[in-house]
Amino acid sequence: MFQKQDKAKIKKQYEAEREAQRQEAIALIDKAKKAKKSMATAYKEALEHIQNNPIKDFIEGEDRVLRGYKMQFVSRDGKYRCMDMDVVRGPKETGERLVNINTISQLVYNGVKYVVE
């Protein structure tokens, strides 16, 4: 089991998420203003909300199971060519995948499961 590579978000999507977060912070402040609570406390809560929920400019790769074997044994960047046995091979699909071995979390070898901690 390994983690697929992260994908960069498009600028529109990233800005939309940031704007939505700003609107949530403004809603928290407006709610406090209507309830006549301390504005300093409301600003603090809004800032904590933004700090605790940062917007990333990439989409994290999901975990994926690879059934196959490693074809490349030397790599400078940690990514190795592996043959994926589950992929149906065709004229354009060879079944080769680039896998960063630093993201491997589990390995099954000869029926024994090894978990990386």
Mean pLDDT of the chain: 86
Residue 23: per-residue pLDDT = 92
Q: Is residue 71 within 8 Å of residue 11, measured between CB atoms?
A: no
The angle at the Cα of 89, spanning 88 to 90, to the nearest 5 degrees, equals 120
Phi, psi of 17 (to 5 degrees): -65, -40
Does residue 16 carry a pLDDT above 90? yes
Per-residue pLDDT at 114: 87
- The whole-number pLDDT of residue 99 equals 86
